Amino acid sequence: MRRSSSRTLRLTATLAAAATSLGLVTLTTATPAQAAAICGGNVSVYGTLPDGRLTYTAISPTTGDRVKTLIGANPGFTPKAMATLNFNTVLVTSTAGELYRVDIQTNDSALALAGVTRIWDSGWTFDKMVYDGAGHLYGTVAGQLHRYNVSQAKPAGPAHIAKHVVIDEGFVLKTLAAAGDDVLVATTADGRLLSYQINGVGDWERSELKSSGWSAVDSLVSPGGGLYYGRTNGGMYWYHDADPTDGRGGDIAYHSDDPVDASGWTQTLLSAYANDCTYQPPAPPTPTPSTRGGQITRTEIMSRAVNWLNRDIPYSQSAYASDPDGGHSYRTDCSGFISMAWHAGSSYTTATLPGVSATISKSDLQPGDALNTSSGHVVLFEKWVDKAAGKFSYIHQSNPNDDMMRGQDYLNGGSDGRIAGHAASGYVALRYDKVING
């Protein structure tokens, strides 16, 4: 057990009643960990107890210590799903399908309600509901992900929660949390930790942060900025993602030996305000522009590729076009485009590109790599759309009719087994010999 700090001891008397009734262990502290986010204050987590009473917990974002827990009144209905709109406004659905706005009068030294307003009479049957802190309310039911626009800090009726759309199907999730503007994190029954970037109806990207190890998490909340809080067997554990925008979970720090609380979190619902914290990436070093045939960053490769895409360079196996610097020209077919994007020493062909690149696993593809086929086509890998499903986006110089194009497909070619009109099985993943990360 961690040793109590003097700050903790001063809080003990204040928290004793709440900790006893909620079953929370004594607040403890440890050597502060590096913060994963920039937060305006403590993380705010609302919840409901099995008897319906509302709870409020403040957590230090830098140490993971619980600062206080307060217990308020029963809102007068049986809650089913909860989303925190802001510091003092919570949306809660009832088991009868109603939607309520619960206003918090104070959560300083006591949790007092200012009022409970029913703003929708029926139809709110979501099993999970979250608010992204930036105007979008999400809910899941029967594997569908729904989204609403919230136009008021304290919505008074359906006019303020409108523009309902169904994003897509296939969202069968064990837990769901909002982690920022149209960013969701979730766990699955088989223990995966996922993140989603929602762009619109049918337009979303999924990243698998962890392939296993999260099956015991029965509630997940996030205040944004790469901070995640997961309840496991009544204990609340905290994690921070050093870069929550990279779609990878290798940089998630676990604090399993330093939990918020080892036990006592008995709430049936938990919800955090997703805009408490923000992620501020470190300022990147000013890159040195590549030279023809020299080392080149992935960022520059993609910038060069988008230049030709925006210029819609016409396809030709005999013509040449200038690169973004205007200092060199490259053949304007598919392999010439890849040569230009790589800032290679000459315009290679699909047959000669392997001579300046290495074969890699398709699952290891990163922005700026290529998929090359012996049948005579090559595309530039742009990014993963859903890596677990093998879905990705790419840019290519397509054909004389379509010229430069951006497309999406699956590594196995999807329903027709083809990528950009060529058999998916014939593609080989290539990584340019001179590429560097950055």
3-state secondary structure 239-278: EEECCCCCCCCCCEEECCCCCCECCCCCCCEEEECCCCEE
Q: Has residue 20 got a pLDDT over 70? A: no
Whole-number pLDDT of residue 374: 83
CATH numbers and ranges of domains, the chain: 37-279 (2.115.10.10), 296-436 (3.90.1720.10)
Q: Has residue 93 got a pLDDT over 80? A: yes
Under the banding of pLDDT at 50, 70 and 90, the label for residue 51 is very high
Tens digits of residue pLDDT in 274-308: 988 998 887 767 778 899 999 999 999 999 999 99
Q: For all residues of the chain together, what is the average pLDDT?
A: 89
Residues in the chain: 438
User: For 316-327, what is the mean pLDDT?
Assistant: 93
Tens digits of residue pLDDT in 120-148: 999 999 999 999 999 999 999 999 999 99
Q: Has residue 368 got a pLDDT over 50? A: yes
Whole-number pLDDT of residue 388: 87
Tens digits of residue pLDDT in 75-85: 999 999 999 99
User: For 208-233, what is the mean pLDDT?
Assistant: 96
Whole-number pLDDT of residue 4: 31
Whole-number pLDDT of residue 18: 41
Under the banding of pLDDT at 50, 70 and 90, the label for residue 65 is very high
Whole-number pLDDT of residue 177: 97
| Phi/psi at 236 (5° precision) | -110, 120
User: For 2-9, what is the mean pLDDT?
Assistant: 30
Under the banding of pLDDT at 50, 70 and 90, the label for residue 6 is very low
Whole-number pLDDT of residue 280: 82
C-alpha 272: how far from chain center: 16
Whole-number pLDDT of residue 29: 32
pLDDT > 90 in the chain, percent: 83
Give how far Cα 87 sits from Cα of 30, 44, 83, 393, Å: 27, 7, 11, 38
Are the C-beta atoms of residues 122 and 96 closer than 8 Å to each other? yes
